[in-house]
A and B are shown apart, each in its own frame.
Chain A
Amino acid sequence: MSTVTTTKPAPAAPGPVPVAAARGEGRIGLRANLRHIGALVRRNALQIKQDPESMFDVLFMPIIFTLLFVFVFGGAISGKGNQADYVNYVVPGLMAMMGMNIAMAVGTGVNDDFKKGVMDRFRSMPIARSSVLLAKIVVELGRMMVAIAILLGVGFLLGLSIKSSVLDLFLAIGLSAVFGSALMWIFILLGLTMKTAQAVQGMAMLVLMPLQFGSSIFAPPSTMPGWLQSFTDYNPLSNLADAARALINGTPVGDSVWMTLVWSLAITAVTMPLAVRKFRQKT
């Protein structure tokens, strides 16, 4: 991913300025690029250390959501006393949701960063400008993994059982990470476009809510009206939730896995170049 973003010449800036072939000189090599990303990942990790409250979402969201959904809806959906069945239904779905909620944080983070002078320093330094964004994504993926680990821990306490294999479980986690990082580009783009972090948050919620609840995450779509079913069928979050559920419960995955991958690829292909472009042109 890093090679793609760094070897591509910067898009021509607006205005009548000629861009000569000399653009290619002074290019940043892959190893240097990885070193820069490493230094910036360290920066983001140290920020978390300095401000542990920024981990609250990752630590408590999986606990609260799992408890709420299992005990509020579990009985209603799977029948009184059958909450354990619902655990196996909802936890893989929550895995998909967790990825989305944490991906959202990257948008507010990028927006916040731009308010600070340090971004000017990075952008006036001989590093690929995309490395700042890639470092953010690496750190957010790390946070996502922590959230998923906690989610699974709570799930196991409530009776989650892996009916397939550990490998399948890891596949499900990996799929969530792939989809989550694709989503991050959307939120990075939002973060670079909107003026304030609050606006990013508001806009993100607007996108998130229908996608989350109009999906198969919390309840099987079979009882939903037809028009909503056709929405949930194509909702990437449903695809991811279905895929994770099938992988963990050992049921046939059907189209869900490749649909998730196609969605991830499509989202990344559209939003990543836009985000990197926006980032380069931002002043």
Chain B
Amino acid sequence: MGDMTRNDKNPNAVEVRGLVKHYGETKALDGVDLDVREGTVLGVLGPNGAGKTTLVRCLSTLIVPDAGTATVAGFDVVRQPRQLRRTIGLTGQYASVDEKLSGWENLYMIGRLLDLSRKDARSRADEMLERFSLTEAAKKAAMNYSGGMRRRLDLAASLIGRPAVIYLDEPTTGLDPRTRNEVWDEVQRLVAEGATVLLTTQYMEEAEQLASELTVIDRGKVIAKGKVDELKARVGGRTLKIRPVSCADLPGMARALAEAGLDGVAGSQAVPDEGVLLVPILSDEQLTAVVGLLAARGYAIADLGTYLPSLDEVFLAITGERPAPVGDSVPTEKTEEVAA
């Protein structure tokens, strides 16, 4: 906890400037800048091979960057790795637990490695198992855990030392939806408790659910950053979705809007399959005018609402392409380094 005092002057728990990491010809990180403010969740969004895991590995002192700087809780990743390791918790695709050991033994071991006394390590292990609903499985070997239990144990292991900053590297990759929700619940709980989290994900929905701010990276470069809503608004703006009582009204409604010459309504689109009309919204005035016009013409509306574009669409708008996995062209950091 003494380390926490280091951040008093620094509202950014994580600061990354111009971070570069090359693997041969591959630029896994090509000048990444990002900040994670204390007590917030930053989502780092990108497809496979975008450099997310390389970023987390640099910030965990597992690999040394080729250029640029990064500090975590005020400690430099290159110059102060030992102090930095005291302030972080790492959970993810790779950082894991010993599968031959039971859940309890894993947590106890980590407690001892973090210099807790035997007694404290024991009670902390019990406490974390309880918190993550693993008490019943405490004595089972981790290899016999279900996917969701495994991730919860990973998360518990990362939290033993009460880290100031938590990295979640694709915490739900490969999990089924139910298990994924379990992990999300735990992360949301952490966030509610004021943790600082750097979350990498390739799922738009996950970033939307958990993060307050987003950094979108692609092929080692930051291509967009901002608040989740800001990003979405910037890219697409709102769309009004109108569901008339009678599906047969859809063509007439679209024609009425077009004839009225309201701003932006030229982009209106009837979707008969879903029985809805989609209208791009540019301003509150326009929204009011559209609804008023339809009401004045006597169309009965069953339901209406506005929505922001999905992050999938955000990615499409920023990069001009779908975030298709590019895993085959960019080797994963792990295999690449073994070869080198």
Residue numbers of A with Cβ under 8 A of B are 10, 13-20, 22-23, 25-28, 32, 35-36, 38-40, 42-43, 46-47, 50-51, 116-118, 120-127, 195, 282-283
Task: Answer whether residue B35 sits at the interface, using C-beta atoms and an 8 A cutoff.
Answer: no
- Compute how far the CA of A225 lies from the CA of B337 in the bound complex, rounded to whole angstroms: 46
Interface size on B, residues (CB 8 A): 43
A43 and B85: CB pair below 8 A?
Answer: no
In the assembled complex, the CB of B72 is this many whole angstroms from the nearest CB of chain A, namely: 11
A36 and B112: CB pair below 8 A?
Answer: yes
Task: Answer whether residue B239 sits at the interface, using C-beta atoms and an 8 A cutoff.
Answer: no
A43-B98, A50-B141, A195-B338 known; A13-B64 Cβ under 8 A: yes
Residues of B within 8 A of A126 (CB): 82-83, 85-86, 114
Residue numbers of B with Cβ under 8 A of A are 57, 60-67, 76, 78-83, 85-86, 88, 90, 92-101, 105, 109-110, 112-115, 141, 157, 333-334, 337-338
Q: 16 A-B residue contacts at CB 8 Å? A: A13-B64, A15-B67, A20-B79, A23-B79, A25-B82, A26-B82, A32-B115, A35-B112, A46-B101, A46-B105, A47-B100, A116-B98, A121-B110, A124-B95, A126-B82, A283-B57
- Compute how far the CA of A139 lies from the CA of B142 in the bound complex, rounded to whole angstroms: 22
A124 and B62: CB pair below 8 A?
Answer: yes
B157 and A121: CB pair below 8 A?
Answer: yes
Rank and list the top 6 A-B pairs by shortest CB-CB distance, nearest first: A117-B96, A26-B82, A39-B112, A13-B64, A26-B83, A126-B85
Majority-rule SS of A interface residues: loop
- Compute how far the CA of A123 lies from the CA of B337 in the bound complex, rounded to whole angstroms: 16
Residues of A within 8 A of B57 (CB): 120, 283
**B141 nearest in chain A by CB position:** A50
- Compute how far the CA of A262 lies from the CA of B29 in the bound complex, rounded to whole angstroms: 47
A17-B65, A25-B83, A283-B63 known; A43-B78 Cβ under 8 A: no
CB < 8 Å: which of B97, B109, B114, B337 contacts A283? B337
Residues of A within 8 A of B105 (CB): 42-43, 46
Residues of A within 8 A of B66 (CB): 15-17
Residues of B within 8 A of A18 (CB): 78-79
B109 and A42: CB pair below 8 A?
Answer: yes
In the assembled complex, the CB of B81 is this many whole angstroms from the nearest CB of chain A, namely: 8
Residues of B within 8 A of A27 (CB): 82
Residues of A within 8 A of B79 (CB): 18-20, 22-23
A50-B141, A283-B63 known; A121-B82 Cβ under 8 A: no
B96 and A121: CB pair below 8 A?
Answer: yes
A121 and B90: CB pair below 8 A?
Answer: yes
B80 and A120: CB pair below 8 A?
Answer: no
Residues of A within 8 A of B80 (CB): 22, 25-26
A26 and B113: CB pair below 8 A?
Answer: no
B64 and A118: CB pair below 8 A?
Answer: no
B115 and A43: CB pair below 8 A?
Answer: no
In the assembled complex, the CB of A274 is this many whole angstroms from the nearest CB of chain B, namely: 17
- Compute how far the CA of A121 lies from the CA of B101 in the bound complex, rounded to whole angstroms: 15
**B85 nearest in chain A by CB position:** A126
- Compute how far the CA of A120 lies from the CA of B169 in the bound complex, rounded to whole angstroms: 12
CB < 8 Å: which of A10, A118, A282 contacts B337? A282
B96 and A123: CB pair below 8 A?
Answer: no
- Compute how far the CA of A25 lies from the CA of B86 in the bound complex, rounded to whole angstroms: 12
A17 and B101: CB pair below 8 A?
Answer: no
Residues of A within 8 A of B98 (CB): 43, 47, 116, 118
In the assembled complex, the CB of B213 is this many whole angstroms from the nearest CB of chain A, namely: 24
A16 and B113: CB pair below 8 A?
Answer: no
CB < 8 Å: which of A16, A20, A42 contacts B67? A16
**A29 nearest in chain B by CB position:** B115
Given contacts A43-B101, A117-B92, A120-B62, 7 further A-B contacts (CB under 8 A): A17-B66, A25-B83, A28-B82, A46-B101, A118-B99, A121-B97, A125-B114
Residues of B within 8 A of A195 (CB): 338
- Compute how far the CA of A55 lies from the CA of B100 in the bound complex, rounded to whole angstroms: 15
- Compute how far the CA of A158 lies from the CA of B196 in the bound complex, rounded to whole angstroms: 67
- Compute how far the CA of A39 lies from the CA of B109 in the bound complex, rounded to whole angstroms: 6
- Compute how far the CA of A25 lies from the CA of B84 in the bound complex, rounded to whole angstroms: 11
